[in-house]
Structure 1
Amino acid sequence: MAKKIDALQQALTTALGDKAVSLKNALGELTLVVKQSEWNEVARLLCDAPQFQFRSCIDLCGMDYSAYKEGAWDGARFAVVYHLLSVEHNVRLRVRVFCPDDELPTMPSMLEVWPGVNWFEREAFDLYGIVFTGHPDLRRILTDYGFVGHPFRKDFPLSGHVEMRYDPVQGRVIYQPVTIEPREIVPRIIREENYGG
């Protein structure tokens, strides 16, 4: 397998040239970092070129690097990570593409290259607020339509902003500010007199 990864690394280095920001082999896995401006072209090459044939995107996820390395991260805050599979060559590749704008993170949709990323892109939008330009139906997929914010961002409060409950008087679900009662979490220890004896 190591030979296969080394051969893929060499082929990527040759084919991409300066389009690859970095290409690292760590623990037998290749991670390619590409500039967003080059991503459309690189994605088509990875999918269509006979030496790669990454025809399946098996996963796509958003990343928030704002608290990475205990806040010592010096780069773009948001990224999208693609996990690609080439069945023909029996090899995988991780591709990381950073969003250049931290205030409004955007990424071109890859639906035309890998149609299976539809719901993955919706999930990254819902949880991280990354807008996929060109996506035909970009709307929330896991949170409620009235949900405020993006819960996987590092600056989102752990308790959230509102909580939802059923109100039997009104006969419907209502939203209200979060009410979390502080409590002491100390384990209670019960000892039996004749334990172990």
Structure 2
Amino acid sequence: MATKLETLMGSLRAALGEDKIVSLETALDEVTLEVSATNWSEVALQLRDHAQLQFEQLIDACGMDYSAYKDTVWEGCRFATVYHFLSYKFNVRLRVRVFCTDDSFPVVASVVDVWPAINWFERESFDLFGIVYQGHPDLRRLLTDYGFVGHPFRKDFPLSGFVEMRYDAEQARVIYQPVTIDPREITPRIIREENYGG
């Protein structure tokens, strides 16, 4: 008798066909499906509407920067969006990974028309990773300031940032200027007691 995960993998292969599946594997009791960015819009509809799948609930979506994945050199595209879905009918979860084909301008099709709950997840991923969701109705920054430069969750983003914002009393307004924080090494102070534990 097939397990629930084996049944799901069989249903995914039957519904999507091998031409739309880049990879399909199980790890940590969860199925991970990888699809190409060009097929993502079509696959998203099939995941939601196909009778053997019915992933009607989007649980989470996040951007990923694989440039230094697991402290090794990553071979392949740098940016991806990872989605987590739940099928109420079959009581099963699915992780879907979609890689952006262009590392210098990462783009993935928005699926806000398929799962409206993804609206803010896509905005957050755009803000923090710079992944553009083509077709999103209101793609703008969500967590950082409108004048913020860069995308802070990218692994090449400097810890101190590029610019800092501060209020200038002389100009009576908020100004942006290059970061003036000097990096420093903090060494913890060690206190030793003569009779410790004795």
Deviates more, 1:128-137 or 1:174-183: 174-183
Q: 5+ unaligned residues in a row in structure 2: which ranges? A: none
Distance 1:182 1:133 in 2: 38
- Segments of 5+ residues of structure 1 without an aligned counterpart are none
1:45-124 equivalences in 2 (<5 Å): 45-70=46-71, 72-124=73-125
- In the alignment of these two chains, the number of paired residues is 196
**Secondary structure at 1:174's aligned position in 2?**
strand
The aligned amino acid for 1:45 is Q
Q: Distance in 2 between matches of 1:171 and 1:20?
A: 57
What residue number does 1:41 align with?
Answer: 42
| TM-score, length basis structure 1 | 0.91
Say yes or no: does 1:7 pair with 2:14.
Answer: no
1:134 matched residue in structure 2? 135
Asked whether the 8 Å contact 2:15–2:50 carries over to 1, the reply is: no
The answer to whether the aligner puts 1:16 opposite 2:16 as a matched pair is yes
> Which has the higher mean CA deviation after the structures are superposed, 128-137 or 150-159?
150-159
3-state SS of paired residue (2:38): helix
Structure 1 residues 21-78: Cα deviation after superposition (integer angstroms, max 9, x where no partner):
1100112110000011211111111101121110111111111122225452221111
CA RMSD of aligned residues (A): 1.8
Distance across 1 between alignment mates of 2:185 and 2:37: 48
The secondary structure found in structure 1 opposite 2:39 is: helix
In structure 1, C-alpha distance between the alignment counterparts of 2:62 and 2:85, rounded to whole Å: 12
Which amino acid counterpart does residue 38 of structure 1 have in structure 2?
A: N
Matched position secondary structure for 1:80: strand
Aligned to 1:161: 162
1:168 positional shift: 4.3
CA shift digits 1:86-142 (9 cap, x unpaired): 122111100001111112111111011100000011111111111111111110001
Question: In proportion to residue count, which structure has more helix?
Answer: 1
Q: 2:127 is aligned with what amino acid?
A: D
